[in-house]
Structure 1
Amino acid sequence: MDPRSSDIVVRAMEPADIPAVTEVLGQPRAVWGTLQPPFVSVDARQKRHAETGPGDAGLVAVLDGRVIGSIGLHRDRPHRRSHVASLGMAVHDAYAGRGAGAALLAAVIDLAERWWNIKRLELNVYADNTRAIALYERFGFQREGLHRAYAWRDGAYVDSLSMARLAL
């Protein structure tokens, strides 16, 4: 049975969520779609989470008590770009296409625009990740440029699209 997106709860990431987030990011398709390397330990993620500052937010998508996705929002700190934030997200392979990404994206856009006064949300997405690109475009992100040979993934260089959304 596919969960409805209304069954998915989005909330702040807690330190106790790090093992579940590590599992999400360890999924073959999830890690394929991010800049995260495979085989990152829970301890390494816990240390990284502990170093986040006031310009960072982490949210998780939860279904039936299980973390099935995560999204990070990172505000630029230099004064002339304090109106800008970037994001990155991943959804557990078993739950892809069931609304978790949309729920996470809606929540982070709300946080950025209504609470942090962010004018510009930025992201990079691999050019061959058509599912993610379609989701971002559905939420008003526009393509701004192509980065050729942007990252090394799975034995080959892959291109990336720069996308951004301007608050209304």
Structure 2
Amino acid sequence: MSAVVIRRATVEDAPAVARIFEDQAAVAGTMQVPWPQADNWRKRLLDQSVDQVELVAMVDGGVVGIAGIRCESKLRRRHVGYIWMAIADRWQGKGVGSCMMAELIDLADSWFNLTRLELTVYTDNVAAVALYRKFGFVIEGEHVQHAFRNGEFVNSYCMARLRPVAEMSHA
């Protein structure tokens, strides 16, 4: 596989991002609905707040994944970030998610001084749960009937990663 390049998402990425959510596994692993409009992604990428960063993963010049981190703005939760990602079906299981997760964690730890990262993941998304565990996330609970997907309710885990105390003393 060619090298994975991670960069900030731009408005011009909207059509490629919309195509990711046309993939069955990619859309099934997120809270998105099938067949998104590129204009909706264009607006979302254009209107990014200062409290969020959305990144794309590129291989051979094409967008193969998108991920984001949104920092909490409430005073008592400014140490927290919420992350999410989606990888095009044919690129799942090839290291793209690991590259994106490493970049999100570096932003959280080295630039945003976040000490807690949170995410939700469907309980049947075994590969994603394994990826998140690899990066230090633990399951903190389960949301029952969290979302409606493919004609049925599905559960999700709430997972979190706390930055190790030793790393915080150097921040």
Q: TM-score range by the shorter chain?
A: over 0.9
Counterpart Cα distance in 1 of 2:51 and 2:83: 12
Name the structure 2 match of 1:98.
Answer: 94
1:107 aligns with 2:103: yes
Give percent identity, aligned residues only.
41
1:121 aligns with 2:114: no
Q: How many positions carry a matched residue from both structures?
A: 164
Secondary structure at 2:14's aligned position in 1? helix
Q: Which moved more, 1:44-53 or 1:110-119?
A: 44-53
1:134 aligns with 2:123: no
Name the structure 1 match of 2:51.
Answer: 55
1:13 aligns with 2:22: no
Secondary structure at 2:124's aligned position in 1? coil
State whether residues 21 and 35 of structure 2, in contact with CA within 8 Å, keep that contact through their aligned partners in structure 1.
no
Secondary structure at 1:122's aligned position in 2? strand
Q: Give 1:30 deviation, angstroms.
A: 0.1
Name the structure 2 match of 1:27.
Answer: 23
Secondary structure at 2:44's aligned position in 1? helix
Name the structure 2 match of 1:77.
Answer: 73
Relative contact order higher in (CA < 8 Å, ≥ 6 apart): 1
State whether residues 144 and 156 of structure 2, in contact with CA within 8 Å, keep that contact through their aligned partners in structure 1.
yes
Two-structure CA RMSD over aligned residues (Å): 0.8
Q: TM-score if structure 2 supplies the norm length? A: 0.94
Letter in 2 for 1:140: G
Query: Which consecutive aligned stretches of 4+ in structure 1 deviate over 6 angstroms post-superposition?
Result: none
Counterpart Cα distance in 2 of 1:26 and 1:113: 32
Q: TM-score if structure 1 supplies the norm length? A: 0.95
Name the structure 1 match of 2:168.
Answer: none
Name the structure 2 match of 1:152.
Answer: 148
1:166 aligns with 2:162: yes
Unaligned runs of 5+ in 1: none
Counterpart Cα distance in 2 of 1:45 and 1:14: 10
